[in-house]
Amino acid sequence: DEEFDELCFEFGLELDEITSEKDIISKEKGEEKAKGASDVVLYKIDVPANRYDLLCLEGLVRGLQVFKERINLPKFEKIIPAEGEGQRLIITEQTAQIRPHAVAAVLRNITFTKDRYDSFIDLQEKLHQNICRKRALVAIGTHDLDTITGPFTFTAKAPSEIKFKPLNQSKEYTASQIMDLYRTDSHLRHYLHLIENKPRYPVIYDSNGVVLSMPPIINGDHTKISLKTRNVFIECTGTDITKAKIVLDIMVTMFSEYCEKPFTVEAVEVVHPNGKTHIYPELAYRTEKVKPEYINKKVGISETPSSLAKLLTRMCLKSHVTGNGNHLEIEIPPTRADIIHACDIVEDAAIAYGYNNIQMVIPKTYTIANQLPLNKLTELLRLDLAAAGFTEALTFALCSQEDIADKLGTDISATNAVIIANPKTAEFQVARTTLLPGLLKTIAANRKMPLPLKLFEISDIVVKDPNADVGAKNYRHLCAIYYNKSPGFEIIHGLLDRVMQVLDVPPNEENGYTIKAAEGTAFFPGRCAEVFVKGQSIGKLGVVHPDVITKFELTMPCSVLEINIEPFV
């Protein structure tokens, strides 16, 4: 296990944990539910999102074998059948409005076992979640070729005209009935929205009118793959042709090793609505040229060109030195769609060299980090507020609309709050415009604690600001609250004086601070004052209105201070 963990790390992966089905279930649902679950050891491996070729056992093992230099990277070969013998997929113009692209390929004389079959299905599922963006960009269909006869037609029809027996169902349904059938299905219901409001649904037929699939929802039961299947027809339909080609390449390169002639794929001719034909899969190899010194400089190593070529070859990028040793020629295989730019090649060279083997050096640039003045002021104030006997609270930056509006006696439109578009919970609908609700909720959750409760928080609030480049602005507020049998206004007033004392702001009008009587919906009438510093208002202090106290489920009076500390930076 330790060796494997080490190997994964060297290859740029992470062995997340070693577990079993039983362990997973007992962790999530308790020991009782885990009875009878399998004890087989499972390795949970974290694969980076760009490496689609490592998402199944076949690709991962192949990658590790090449990395350990036990095998050479196989050369994938596309076999183009003789004229008139190959399979054809015809795309009609009806698909243009909904899923315009389709690509296909055939795996001939493949041998499935239970494990290979599970891996084959699992890879489709992983690709669907990852590069296919939950089937929105691409949907994969795999079919038993011996149960159908080409040429195949990819078209779109009205839901009522499509009728077939969906995978693992016992009778035929129309497309509209299928939608209703899967509305409660925990797995498939997430994909229904992709086509359900469209006038036509995409569908693939063979030459006898047998339905292969209704992408991106479900395959037909007729073409279901089993362990006895010898020839597999793979089709990928989608809204993004580049992604569809990548997905098809990954599917065939991973599983062509089980064909009678390993690593060969039979091509399929795809006929577009305009009459043009394309042969898929592309299985395109391409070469890139990179200078060895570019790699050395970027990674911070000094390897010879031939040793860099060897490192890259171990990462499935077959390389050799050309032109007097001043260039590396690198062959990018069809499995590596993630190699887009020279920097991707550099990254692979660094992984093969071993991140831990790169010498650490002090950077040439000499800079000294400094604390943001606002954060420095915040830290200093927190210490002084704590010394004054107040306890610090940290509350959520998001709250419900009621917290900042209805409960404080104002309207949501008057708060200028930033509203979350599709909040997951009612508790997190808006960004807070004041720190007061957070502290009142904290007190409500700590009513059992002995009185008095003295809390404070210094954090950011957010308000809309049309002049800011992001349309909103943060302000650093200080809020303190005193909750007891009597309001204790003098304690909060004393705290304000102490804060001003440590900020070195004298109590006068010209260049100091003053307080003037004011009104606020959250405050008791006649018990509220506004704080002015050098003539500008920075906040309020006062006794909280009884209505506000009851709305936050509290029973005692309390007084509060909330000011903006940014003018003091």
Residues 140 and 35 in one domain: no
Q: Which of 329, 357, 385 is the last residue of a domain?
A: 357
Higher-pLDDT residue of 235 and 414 is 235
Residues 90 and 153 in one domain: yes
Question: Would you state the pLDDT for residue 34?
Answer: 72
| Domain assignment present for 258 | yes
Residues 105 and 233 in one domain: yes
| Domain assignment present for 520 | yes
**CB 453, CB 537: distance < 8 Å:** no
Kindly report the backbone phi and psi dihedral angles of residue 15, in degrees, each rounded to the nearest multiple of 5, phi listed first. Answer: -80, 105
Question: Would you state the pLDDT for residue 559?
Answer: 93
Tell me, what CATH number does 412's domain have?
Answer: 3.30.930.10
Distance between CA atoms of residues 175 and 92, nearest Å = 19
> At 458, is the pLDDT very low, low, confident or very high (cuts 50, 70, 90)?
very high
Question: Would you state the pLDDT for residue 202?
Answer: 93
H helix or E strand, kind and range, residue 313: helix 305-314
| Domain assignment present for 368 | no
> At 60, is the pLDDT very low, low, confident or very high (cuts 50, 70, 90)?
very high
| Domain assignment present for 308 | yes
* Helix/strand/coil for 20: strand
Question: Would you state the pLDDT for residue 383?
Answer: 94
Beta strand pairing status for 264-271 and 77-79? parallel
Q: Which of 565, 540, 545 is nearest to 557 (CA)?
A: 545
Q: Which of 280, 313, 333 is the last residue of a domain?
A: 280
Q: What is the 3-state secondary structure (H, E, C) of 73-98?
A: CCCCEEECCCCCCCEEEEECHHHHHC
> What's the one-letter identity of residue 281?
P
Q: Which of 239, 234, 244 is nearest to 195 (CA)?
A: 239
Kindly report the backbone phi and psi dihedral angles of residue 455, in degrees, each rounded to the nearest multiple of 5, phi listed first. Answer: -120, 155
C-alpha distances (whole Å) from 133 to each of 191, 192, 203 are 11, 14, 20
Residues 125 and 154 in one domain: yes
Question: Would you state the pLDDT for residue 473?
Answer: 92
Domain residues for 334? 286-357
Contacts of 98 (CB under 8 A, 6+ apart): 156, 195, 198, 200, 201, 202
- What's the number of domains the chain is made of? 4
pLDDT in tens, 369-381: 888 999 999 999 9
Residues 302 and 385 in one domain: no
Residues 39 and 104 in one domain: no
Tell me, what CATH number does 4's domain have?
Answer: 3.30.56.10
Residues 270 and 290 in one domain: no
| Domain assignment present for 65 | no
Distance between CA atoms of residues 35 and 41, nearest Å = 16
Question: Would you state the pLDDT for residue 493?
Answer: 92
The pTM assigned to this predicted structure is 0.68
Alpha-carbon Rg for the chain in angstroms: 33
Residues 304 and 249 in one domain: no
Q: What is the 3-state secondary structure (H, E, C) of 202-217?
A: EEEECCCCCEEEECCC
pLDDT above 80 for 30: no
* Helix/strand/coil for 380: helix
> Which tokens hold the place of 220?
């037909």
Q: Which of 261, 280, 299 is the last residue of a domain?
A: 280
- The label of the residue with tokens 């980076």 reads 48
> At 84, is the pLDDT very low, low, confident or very high (cuts 50, 70, 90)?
confident
Q: Which of 536, 543, 545 is nearest to 559 (CA)?
A: 543
| Domain assignment present for 276 | yes
| Domain assignment present for 66 | no
| Domain assignment present for 70 | no
Residues 154 and 235 in one domain: yes
Residues 265 and 379 in one domain: no
Residues 302 and 267 in one domain: no
Residues 499 and 380 in one domain: yes
> At 416, is the pLDDT very low, low, confident or very high (cuts 50, 70, 90)?
confident
